[in-house]
Structure 1
Amino acid sequence: MMNVVIAGAGSIGLLLGSFLAEAGMAVTFFVRREEQAALIQHRGIQRINQDATTSTYHVEATTDIACLPTPSLWIVAVKFTGMRDLLSEMQQAKVDNPMLFVQNGLAHLELVQNAAMPHVAFATVEHGARRVDDRSVSHNGVGRLTIAPAWGDSHLFEKVGQAHSAVFPVGYHDDAEQILMRKVFINCMINPLTAILQMKNGELLTNTHSRELFDTLFSELMTAFPEMLTVLPYEAVAEVCRKTANNQSSMLTDRLAGRPMEIETIVTAIIRKANERNQSVQLLTMLETMLYAIDGAREE
C-alpha cells in the first residue's frame, strides 16, 4: 500500500486526500492544530459529492513531523504563506521524500528550486472545492489534477494516477512551468474579479457587466503573453467557470473569512512578468491595487 503524506488540510488537501484514500492509499495528514489532527484521526475525512451524497474515509493525522510514515510520497497543500515555515521544518527534520507541490501562483516555484530536495513535481488542481469544516470538503466542480515532474525520479509520482476516475481525472505533463503559468492565468481571470465583486465563479459569465470585465482581462493578458493563447484559449477559461459555477474562488473565500488573500503569488507575479516584457496590464494592475486595499483596510 502506498503511503501518502498531505501537508495541509484545507479544501485542496482534503479533496486530494479523499480521492487518494478512496483509491486504496494510506493517507496521513500533517497539520498545525492538535484539534484538527484529533478530529481527523477520530472521525476520518468526509467528501460531499456533487450529487449530495457523502463519502467518509479513514485516514491518519498528526502535528508531529517525526510521526509521519516513511517511505512516503508527500503532497504539499499548504498556501504559499505557509511554505517557508514548512520547508524550514522539513529541512530540520531531514525530510527527503518525493514532494508534489500543489500551490496556486508562481512564487512557490522559486522557493522550492532553492531548497535541497531530490525528487520534486508540481501540480495544478482545477477542481472546485470548499472546505466545510476541519474534516469535510464539498466537491463543487470536476476539474483535473495535472502533474509535471520537475527533477529527480519522475516514476515516483506515477502512482498518484491510480486515483484517476471520471470525477477525479489525473494527467501528466512534461513542463512544470507551463502548467503553473496556465493555472495562474486561470486564477488571474477568476480570482480577482470574484473577490472584488463577491461573485461565484459562474456569475462572471452570466452577469453582463462582469462578463465585460472578464473578456477585457482575457484580451489584456493574451496581448501581453500571446504564446499563452494556444495553451489557454478563451473557451478553456470559460469552461472552468462553468464547471465550478457554484464555487467560491480561493481568493473570495479568504476575503470572506478575513484571511489575507493570495495576491502576490497570483496577481503581482503576472504583473511583474508583464513589466519585464514592457507590456502594460492596466486592468489587472487596477484589480491588484483594489485587492491590496481590501487586505489593508482589514488590517487597520
Structure 2
Amino acid sequence: MTAQTPSINTRPYPSSSSAKVAFIGLGVMGYPMAGHLAAAGHEVVVYNRTRAKAQQWVEEFAAVQAKVAFADTPEAAAKDADIVFGCVGNDDDLRAVTIGAGGAFAGMKRGAIYVDHTTASADVARELYAAAKAQGLQFIDAPVSGGQAGAQNGQLTVMCGGDQEVFDHVAPVAQAFSRAFTLLGGSGAGQLAKMVNQIAIAGVVQGLSEAVAFAMQAGLDVPAVIDVISKGAAQSWQMENRAKTMAQGQFEFGFAVDWMRKDLGLVLEEGRRNGAHLPVTALVDQFYSDVQAMGGQRWDTSSLIARLVKPAAK
C-alpha cells in the first residue's frame, strides 16, 4: 500500500536531539500528535486499541520518518522508550493503558517518562504520578487545548503538572506538536488548569450562542454583525472561528458534545470538592444535555445554538 500524504500540516521544528518515544492512543488528537513527533525526527512506536488504525498510522508516517512502528500492547510500545506520550478517553482508559494488564508502566525502563494528554481528573493524575514514582518512573499530566485543528497544525496549548526537571526533559520533544507547553505546578495542576479552560469555554459558547440567535431573530446580517463586533471587546476565538458556522447550522468541527459533557462532569465534581461555585458551568452542562437529547452527541460544542433557534439553511 502506497503511503498517504501525512494528515498533518508540517512546520519547522525546534532543534533537539532525536528521542525514542511511544504514543498510546491514535484518536483525532493522538494520530496527528504522534505524526508531528515522527516528522520532527523522533523514533516513534505507536499503540492503538484498534490495531488497523496503528497499522494505518505507520504506513502513512513512514513517508516522513523511517523509524516508525506499531505494537500490540501499551507495554510493548513503551519498551525502551525515553518518553511515552498518551491520549485516551477518560480515567478508566488511562488506568488501563498505564497500570492495567499489558499497560505501559510494565514496559517502561527505569527513569522513563509518561506524559498524559488525556483530559482526566486531577485525582487520577496524582494516583499515577505516585504509581510511577514507586516503579522508578516519571509522570507528567499534560492535557491539551486547541482541538483537532490544533493537533493537525502542531499548535496545541499544553497545560502540565509535575516535577520541573522532568518537564524540562520533555518540553523540547513536545514542542513538535505544541505552540505552548507550560508547567503550572505539581502533579494534577495540568488537569486543574484544563478545567479552568473548559469553564471559560462553556460560558463563552453559551453567550455567543445567545448573541447569534438574537441577531438571527432580529433579521440582521449575521456575518456582517460578527465582522464588526469581533473587532471590539466582544472578540473571542469562538467568535472568530464558530459564530458564522453556528448561524449556518454547521457543527462538524471536532470536539464533540459528549466529550465536553465528560469534561464538565470533571469540573463540577472538582468544584464540589474544592468549594468553587460554578452556577453558569452547571447550567451550560445541562444545556449540552439538551443537545444530546436532540441527537447532537457528536456535534461540536458550538451546537448550543441549536437549542435556541432553527439554523439558517446551509
TM-score by length of 1: 0.62
Unmatched runs of 5 consecutive residues or more in structure 2: 1-17, 216-231, 246-251, 298-314
Bigger drift between 1-10 and 65-74 goes to 65-74
2:196 to 176, 185, 202: 185
Amino-acid identity (%): 12
Question: How many Å separate the matches in 1 of 2:94 and 2:130?
Answer: 12
* Aligned equivalent of 1:223: none
* Aligned equivalent of 2:181: 171
Instruction: Report the structure, 1 or 2, having the larger strand content.
Output: 1
Q: Note if 1:109 corresponds to 2:147.
A: no
Task: State the Cα distance separating 1:169 from its structure 2 match.
Answer: 1.8
Q: Note if 1:64 corresponds to 2:73.
A: yes
Question: How many Å separate the matches in 1 of 2:156 and 2:43?
Answer: 23
2:147 to 128, 132, 136: 128
Aligned length: 242
TM-score by length of 2: 0.60
CA RMSD of aligned residues (A): 4.1
Question: Would the alpha carbon gap of residues 61 and 278 (structure 1) be closer, same or farther in structure 2, given more than 3 Å must change?
Answer: closer
Question: How many Å separate the matches in 2 of 1:114 and 1:192?
Answer: 34
Structure possessing the higher radius of gyration over alpha carbons: 2
Question: Would the alpha carbon gap of residues 158 and 190 (structure 1) be closer, same or farther in structure 2, given more than 3 Å must change?
Answer: closer
Q: Note if 1:10 corresponds to 2:27.
A: yes
CA contact (8 A) 2:19 2:173 kept: no
Pick 1 or 2: higher relative contact order, CA cutoff 8 A, min separation 6.
1
Q: 2:148 is paired with a residue of what secondary structure? A: strand
CA deviation profile, 1:166-198 (whole Å, cap 9, x unmatched): xx424332515444323222223335986xx8x
Unmatched runs of 5 consecutive residues or more in structure 1: 46-54, 132-136, 211-234, 256-260
CA contact (8 A) 1:271 1:281 kept: yes
* Aligned equivalent of 1:52: none
Question: How many Å separate the matches in 2 of 1:20 and 1:91?
Answer: 19
Q: 1:103 is paired with a residue of what secondary structure? A: coil
CA deviation profile, 1:49-81 (whole Å, cap 9, x unmatched): xxxxxx966632222345424133101111214
